[in-house]
Amino acid sequence: MAATSQLDAAASFDPLRPKLTRIAYRMLGSVADAEDVVQDAFLRWLATDRETVREPEGFLRRVVTRLCLDLLKSARRRRETYVGEWLPEPVVEDEEEEIDDVTLPLMLALERLSPLERAAFLLHDVFGVGFDEIAETIGREPAACRQLASRARSHVRAARPRFEMPKERGLEIAAAFFAASRHGDMDRLRSLLAADVVVHSDGGGKKPAAREPVIGFDNVMQLHAALARLFAENRSQLVRYGHINGLPGFVTVEAGDTLQTTALKIENGQIAAIYVMRNPDKLRHIGASAVH
């Protein structure tokens, strides 16, 4: 009987799992935490009298959001003691997937919101959930939820994608950046970078990475001049090009068998920001899915 109940629960839950995972990931910025939350939601679904639930998707969306709100409290405390700059775990999107407009810069902007602002904005603006359901989910009046979403929208406006660019063009620029940076072609690199370019890197204290953003054209060029010498001694192994959290980039294996993702924010045909993930704890899922 228990086995039958579990099969019934899985039959209604599994089709919703990808969407629930997307919600949890965008709330938390962690693939592992998102998967844990969704599995916890399944266990709660298993224990629920499912015949009384008229809209399973809405019910489970509320469960996942509430679990994320609880987890965000402890996650914020952990990030206060994080070594160096914190970046969300990278997700390398399949070629056939449509690029999500919740790009890496937007995910970083979401980190500056309160948990309730983040929930209201994501549920309404990204996933199209009505304010009545959001109100029930987070325990606020619909009018208050509208204000939360509006406030969040004003905070993240600058981080939303402003320039439409064909996927192929983005990957061409990523390939040009990979070649120039790895072969020490400083002239080519200069032509690719915007004047106000910024490099963000996350090693989590476990792999070498800058503790603070490297800001400005001259500083970024100096950084890559130093890196070029290292790349000459230890050649990067290109694993694949692809879109990482909505941005063109690539996955590589660097010196010491260090897995790394590099994502590029491109504006007006130039690289405005570079996001490098080197923390092995945040790349475990990439090792399983992207390296082949």
Query: Is 24:68 a contact under the CB 8 Å cutoff?
Result: yes
pLDDT 10s digits, 135-172: 999 999 999 999 999 999 999 987 776 667 888 999 99
What is 167-289's CATH topology?
Nuclear Transport Factor 2; Chain: A, (3.10.450)
Query: First-to-last CA distance in the chain?
Result: 41
pLDDT 10s digits, 77-99: 677 788 999 999 999 987 665 66
Average pLDDT of span 34-61 = 94
Q: Give the list of residues 6+ apart from residue 199 with CB closer than 8 angstroms, or none.
A: 210, 213, 214, 220, 223, 273, 274, 276
Tokens of 91: 């997700």
The yes-or-no verdict on residue 273 having pLDDT over 90 is yes
The yes-or-no verdict on residue 7 having pLDDT over 90 is no
CATH 1.10.10.10 for the 104-160 domain, yes or no: yes
Residue with structure tokens 């990204």? 126
Other residues' Cβ atoms within 10 Å of the Cβ of residue 10: 14
Query: Which of 66-75, 77-86, 105-114 is the least confident region?
Result: 77-86
Q: Could you state, in order of their start, the residue ranges of all structural domains in the chain?
A: 1-81, 104-160, 167-289
Give residue 211's identity as a one-letter amino acid code.
R
